[in-house]
Structure formats: C-alpha cells, structure tokens
Amino acid sequence: MGYRELDLTNYPRRAHFAYFRTLAYPYAGLTANVDITAFTARRKEKGCPFFLTFTYCVTRAANAVPAFRQRIRGDGIVEYDWCPGSVTLAEPDGTFCFCTLSCRENFSDYLPAAEEAKRRALEANRLDGETDEEPLLFLSSVPWVSFTQVVHPAPCPADSNPRILWGKIFTQEGRTLIPVSVLCNHALCDGRHMADFYAALDRELASVF
C-alpha cells in the first residue's frame, strides 16, 4: 500500500498528537447502533452473505475517513492511500483466525475473492499470517450478543490501528439494528472522526448493492 508522510508543522492536531501520545492508554472509542433495515432487505434479495458484505462496507467506510488511514511511525505520522481489513474468522473448535480482505475492488469482484481468502485462512488457522500489520484495520464481530459497550484489547506500547467490532443484530420499534464499536488512537482521531466513520458506513450500506 502506498502512503505519504504528513508535514507535522502544518498538521492541525499537532498539539493533540503530542499530548495523547504520552498517555499510558491513548485510545478513545464509541459504540453506536447502526440501522441496517434497508440493507438487510436488499442483502436477502441478493442472497449475499452478511459477514463478508458487512465487512466490505465497514472497511470502505473506514477508508473514507483519512484519520482512520493514518498511523504513528516513530515521531511522525504516515497516511496510507488504502487500509485493508484484517477480520477474525470463527473456527469450528471455538477459536478464531485472521483473514485480510482488501475491499478496494468492486463488490461483484470482492465476494468470490473474499470467499476464497476466507477458505484459505480457515484452513491455515493462524494468528501470525500478516507480514505488515501497520496499514491494517482490525475488524471483528461478536454475533452472539447485542452489546452497548465493549473493551478492546490493545498492545503496550500502543499502536494506532483502528479497531472496529460489531455485535448481534436486533430489532427495535420495527427497525433492524446492529451495535458497532470503534476504538482509535486519540493522538490521531477525535469523536468527530468517529462520527464521520458512522456517516460513511450509512452511505456504504445504502449503496453497496
């Protein structure tokens, strides 16, 4: 993936970047219910698998927000032109493995490629298959519970990869909803950037088919 180094002398969040990098836990997050009523109806009409389709929309929505494509490297910031999604896949024995999906291609090309990538990842059953984790978006799901809050695992020292998790679909007042949680390094992202992600996700869900 290509990237560019940001000029921190003209970076509007320069002071925020310097401050939040010093914290032991520099992360900030949100959890919101996303309306997937229309998306669910169209997906069922098309016969598309939920997990891979939703992953596609989430990855593209995250890439629509420049701050989600930024990573801390040394004392600077790089911004990738595209960040693939690294998703967790459930194994039959109750464990999970990782699978990288670009989601940059057209949806019609993405689905068969994603199905094949999923098959290979489940066969390999590995957690260490990534050669370079820096550009990745860390994606996962907990389809057994509709949560209102979640705590994401994070390394020490802190990394700057956004983490996005979604839960069990539920209905409320006639609408179909799904909880989606976002965790970002606060040195790079504020609440406004996270709100931009949710808005972009609404657009992706409305236009994927």
Buried b (16+ CB within 10 A) or exposed e, 50-67: bebbbbbbbbbbbbbbeb
Beta bridge partners of 97: 89
> Domain ranges in the chain?
28-188
pTM of the model: 0.95
Q: Domain 28-188 belongs to what architecture? A: 2-Layer Sandwich (3.30)
Rounded to an integer, what distance in angstroms lies between the CA atom of residue 139 and that of residue 163? 6
DSSP state of 71: E
Omega before residue 157 within 30° of 0, cis: yes
d(CA 100, CA 102) in angstroms, rounded, equals: 7
pLDDT of residue 1: 75
- Nearest CA to 136 among 111, 165, 110, 162? 162
According to DSSP, residue 9 is labeled G
pLDDT in tens, the chain (209 residues): 799 999 999 999 999 999 999 999 999 999 999 999 999 999 999 999 999 999 999 999 999 999 999 999 999 999 999 999 999 999 989 899 999 999 999 999 999 999 999 999 999 877 765 568 999 999 999 999 999 999 998 898 999 999 999 999 999 999 999 999 999 999 999 999 999 999 999 999 999 99
